[in-house]
Structure 1
Amino acid sequence: MKRIFTSYLNTFKGLSKEIWWLALITLVNRAGAMVIPFLSLYLRDDLGFSLSRVGWVMTCFGFGSLFGSWLGGILSDKLGYYKTILLSLIATGIGFLGLQFITSFWAVCIGFFALITVADMSRPAFFVALSAYSKPENKTRSLTLIRLAINLGFSAGPALGGIIIASIGYFGLFLADGITCILAGLLLIQTLNPKKAKETDQEKMIENPLAPHKDRLYVIFLIALALFGVVFVQYFSTVPVYYKEVRLLTESQIGLLLGMNGLMIFLFEMPLIAFMEAKNWNHISNVIGGLVLTGLSFGFFYFSGWNGVLILGMAVATLGEMIAFPFGNAFALRRAKLGRQGAYMGLYSMSFSLAHIFGHNSGMQLVDRLGYKSTWAIMAAITVVALLLLIYVKRNKDFSKI
């Protein structure tokens, strides 16, 4: 057991201290994001919005994420990643503190659009910072550490949020979110101020940088990733409903299944990524493998009777996620060396915003009109399209070895 634990810890060796600080800032920020998991309940129960109005607020939320990712990419290139992250954290903290006083429908729509815009400005900037503080050979593991911090934060956030709601009400969530965002900003000032932090990436950007939308292979790659996102987000929208309506699972059982995703990532993602990097497989091949696993996981839903098969399905889907996302991130960072990093990573973040905007709603509409089995078949077809696009990227002569 001691040898296994030591081996696990060794997968974290070699990462710069700045990456560890970045992970801690991410953990504090994500753990404080307590309003988000309870947003629909807050709008429904506390503000009394109809389901239709809740849907429109969530749509504004999604478009705010899309716009924020684009804007953050531009600001990262213009102002630098440090100022962009700091501006985002402080502005988001102030936004959360103020948003609790807005109650009218249109004001809430505009307020959440603005809040998520400034919150998600930091997403591409975090990617650029991560690239700056990582040696080229450590980028994928650095990305995995950040994902670990995100998952730990998202695991702790809802648990703390539930306690706060039960104790002092929803306004406590806004207060906690605002304070933690500002604390994350102060931690950033103390640890990653350019005057104190040392960049370790010695790779040079090329002259006459290429705009990401003109990088044909990169755009095709992002389309494939957005399609993958549409498939994957079903595990957080249509699949839980399927668990309850078709498999007759209780809310606690559904929670345990979804929690299994975060637990697997916490325990196995870093050793898995370290193992795969040692094999020196190229990034796109790994993304293809992850996408195949996630697509195959929907096949488990066709096995009726024994609900234990759902555990296997979640395990396969999570394994696909653990492989596809870190190596997809790493490919995007390396491709960004062709041009403006902020703009490249902004476009990368936007691909997942699009998946959230269209994936949840389209999945629900398909289930409503065609049923679950037909929806799973359509998800499999989308997976195949994404695979074909990734295979094209991999085989293209401009692909090289990234």
Structure 2
Amino acid sequence: MRTVRGWFRETTGGLPATFWYLWAGTLINRLGSFVLIFLAIYLTQERGFSELQAGLVLGLWGVGGAVGTTVGGTLTDRWGRRPTLLTAHVGAASMMLALGFARPLWAVATGALLLGLFAEAARPAFGAMMIDVVPERDRLRAFSLNYWAINLGFASAAVLAGFAAEVDYLLLFVIDAATTLTTALVIFVKVRETRQPSVSVPASLGGAAVPKSALRTILTDRIYLGFVALNLLSALVFLQHISMLPIAMGEDGLSTSTYGSVIALNGVLIVVGQLFVPRLIRGRSRSHVLALAALVMGVGFGLTAFAEAAWFYGLTVLIWTLGEMLNSPSNSTLIAELSPAELRGRYQGVFSLSWQVAGAVAPVLGGLVRQEAGNVTLWLGCAVIGAVVAAVHLLSGPARERRAVALRPRAVPPVEPATTLVPPAPQAAEAAATAPTEPSTTR
């Protein structure tokens, strides 16, 4: 019992109150994240759209997300984390309801585009706020705890959404909107602005140059952009589980509730095991961990080519989930160390952009490959991509780590120590003063 209590304290103790409010908001939001899980099935089975039309709608959601993360990253640095989060959540809830009531294809497509824009605009702000309030030494477990909350909610949502869809698909949109608004309420009541004053330092210290040089800084950061490109390739594989996987299972005669139960295994495994991952990978080469994660994920999706029964689909989900569990915390801590503090929101936005580009391309590309070359080719292609990403991680990892070490000593311009508005702020202020080059996860 003492060992369990000690592990629990080691895993959850010492994190600031703002982190736990963000964590609670994440859990509430994910408990109602019904729509995206079943959107492909809704469009093809309930609305009668073709696979290509469904892929295009999902692709527009990704396009909207790409715009949202870009705008959200800029607003996070200039306007603030809190107002960006609140605007994004309220807008996403509104668009969720609009999409549920939309009927013509053009209205559904427009709703998906705007939903993607608002929903994904929150990612850079959330990631930047997490880094603002959590000291560098605690980030690995903080990101793991947040990812655990995401998947606890996802596992529950996948099962509940399957049954809700059999009652009425509109219920999916209503519940999703309600939980999104609840998250906005938690942020409004409990979370204060965490952006550091150093984001807008006086012109005499070079502050005026930050907005003008931000894009150039990112576009010339080849090491970071290479890392983002690898995430894009991984995301193209990973996002097939919400676009082509439900369609493949449907063609094998499996129901929506069966798909919900199978995909829920992803969340269940993460809930059971994710909190042990930080201890498992602590002190190990991040490049090796990321390479192993990409390889395991590729194998899991590749085996889907041979699946026909629910148990086999479930086995493939469990395999690629192991890769996802290894990938997420290593990704998050590395992004944090590769991003300058004054451009934290924009760097978060660029990383999130890789997910949105994948969200736009993955369903269209997956549908095209499946339609023209067949189901087996699609999933075996995923395995090949996983192997390529693993190899490149091994080759590029040393340069990334050298960059992280080189950035670590840099300090925020010697103005007054950053004063945060975070409730228990000593740790956040210490992190801002000593770890200026950092950022964060989702799924």
Check whether TM > 0.5: yes
SS in 2 for 1:399: helix
CA apart distance, 1:115: 2.2
| Secondary structure of 1:396 counterpart | helix
Larger mean Cα displacement after TM superposition, 226-235 or 126-135: 226-235
> Contact 1:127–1:333 (CA<8 Å) still a contact in 2?
no
In structure 1, the partner of 2:267 is: 262
Deviation of residue 9 (structure 1)?
6.1
For residues 69-94 of structure 1, the C-alpha deviation after alignment (integer angstroms, 9 at most, x for no partner) is 11111111111111110111122223
Q: 1:173 to 1:379 in 2, by over 3 A?
A: closer
1:120 aligns with 2:113: no
TM-score, reference length from structure 1: 0.83
Matching residue of 2:431: none
Deviates more, 1:135-144 or 1:87-96: 87-96
Shift in Å at residue 144 of structure 1? Answer: 1.5
RMSD value over aligned CA atoms? 3.5
Q: 2:222 aligns with which of 216, 222, 225?
A: 216
- For residues 355 and 12 of structure 2, the distance between their equivalents in structure 1, rounded to whole angstroms, comes to 27
CA distance in 1, matches of 2:151, 2:40: 21
Native 8 Å contact 1:100 1:174 kept in 2: yes
Equivalent residue, structure 1, for 2:440: none
- Spell out the pairing of 1:126-137 with structure 2 (5 A cutoff): 126-137=126-137
Change (3 A) 1:400 1:308: same
Superposition map of 1:358-397 within 5 A: 358-396=361-399
Question: Matched residue pairs, number?
Answer: 391
Deviates more, 1:58-67 or 1:119-128: 58-67
TM-score normalised to structure 2 length? 0.76
Amino acid at match of 1:139: R
* Unpaired runs of at least 5, structure 1: none
Q: Tell me, what secondary structure is at the counterpart of 1:14?
A: coil
Cα distance in 2 for residues equivalent to 1:144 and 1:191: 22
Once residues 250 and 47 of structure 1 are traced to their aligned partners in structure 2, the CA distance between those partners, rounded to angstroms, is: 16
Q: Residues 270-285 of structure 1: matches in 2 within 5 Å?
A: 270-277=275-282, 280-285=283-288
| Pair 1:238–1:60, CA change in 2 (3 A) | closer
For residues 370 and 346 of structure 1, do their structure 2 counterparts lie closer, same or farther at Cα, with a shift above 3 Å needed? same
- Cα-to-partner distance string for 1:190-227 (whole Å, 9 max, x where unaligned): 11123xx799xxxx9x9876632221100011111111
Q: Which residue is 1:138 aligned to?
A: 138
Q: Determine the C-alpha separation between the residues in 1 that align with 2:79 and 2:103.
A: 34
Cα deviation, 1:247-295, whole Å, max 9, x if unaligned, reads: x877666544422211110011111123322xx2243332122112222
Match of 2:349 in 1: 346
- Counterpart of 2:86? 86
Alpha carbons 2:295, 2:386 under 8 Å: kept: yes
CA distance in 2, matches of 1:349, 1:256: 28
Contact 1:221-1:389 at 8 Å conserved across structures:
no
CA apart distance, 1:68:
1.0
Tell whether the 8 Å contact from 1:34 to 1:173 is kept in structure 2 after alignment. Answer: yes
User: Are the structure 2 counterparts of residues 26 and 263 from structure 1 closer, same or farther at C-alpha, using a change threshold of 3 Å?
Assistant: same
CA distance 1:48–1:229, shift in 2 (3 Å): closer
Residue type at the aligned position of 1:229: A
State the AA in 2 paired with 1:135: P
The residue aligned with 2:38 is 38
Write the distance in 2 (CA, Å) between the matches of 1:307 and 1:161: 18
1:187-226 pair list within 5 angstroms: 187-194=186-193, 211-226=217-232
Shift of 1:312: 5.2
Q: Distance in 2 between matches of 1:292 and 1:5?
A: 35
Superposed displacement of residue 163, structure 1: 5.1
Displacement of 1:127 after TM fit? 0.5
Which residue is equivalent to 1:58? 58
| Whole-Å separation in 2 of the counterparts to 1:338 and 1:122 | 18
Superposition map of 1:97-112 within 5 A: 97-112=97-112
In the alignment, which residue of structure 1 is the partner of 2:403?
399
- 1:12-67 per-residue CA deviation (whole Å, 9 max, x = no partner) reads 22322221110111112222332333334544566555555433322221211111
Q: What is the Cα deviation at residue 244 of structure 1?
A: 6.7
Question: What secondary structure does 2:56 align onto?
Answer: helix
Distance in 1, matches of 2:26 and 2:268, equals: 18
Report the Cα offset of residue 331 of structure 1: 0.8
State whether residues 12 and 270 of structure 1, in contact with CA within 8 Å, keep that contact through their aligned partners in structure 2. no
The CA distance in 1 between the partners of 2:375 and 2:172, in whole Å, is 35
CA contact (8 A) 1:212 1:339 kept: no
Distance 1:110 1:285 in 2: 42
1:311-346 residue CA offsets vs partner (Å, 9 max, x unmatched): 654433211110112211221122112651111011
Counterpart amino acid of residue 268 in structure 2: L
8 Å CA contact retained: 2:60, 2:109: yes
**Against the structure 1 CA distance between its residues 178 and 318, is the aligned structure 2 distance closer, same or farther, given a 3 Å change threshold?**
closer
Shift of the 306–353 alpha-carbon distance from structure 1 to 2, 3 Å rule, reads: closer
The answer to whether the 8 Å contact 1:11/1:274 transfers is: no
Identify the range of structure 1 (386-395 vs 303-312) with the bigger mean alpha-carbon deviation.
Answer: 303-312
1:228 corresponds in structure 2 to 234
Name the stretch that deviates more: 265-274 or 11-20: 11-20
Q: 1:356 aligns with which of 359, 365, 370?
A: 359
Residue identity (%): 26
Q: Which amino acid aligns with 2:264?
A: G
Distance in 2, matches of 1:390 and 1:383, equals: 11
Distance 1:175 1:286, change over 3 A: same
Which segment drifts farther, 105-114 or 158-167?
158-167
Q: 1:365 to 1:40 in 2, by over 3 A?
A: closer
Q: What's the CA shift for 1:155?
A: 2.5
**Counterpart secondary structure, 1:390:** helix
Instruction: Look up the equivalent residue of 1:351 and give its one-letter code.
Output: S
Contact between 1:62 and 1:357, CA under 8 Å: does it hold in 2? yes
Q: Which amino acid aligns with 2:278?
A: I
Contact 2:67-2:117 at 8 Å conserved across structures = yes
User: In the superposition, relative to structure 1, how do residues 271 and 166 fare at CA in structure 2: closer, same or farther (>3 Å)?
Assistant: same
1:318 alignment partner, one of 305, 317, 321: 321
* TM-aligned CA deviation for residue 296 of structure 1: 3.4
Aligned to 2:433: none
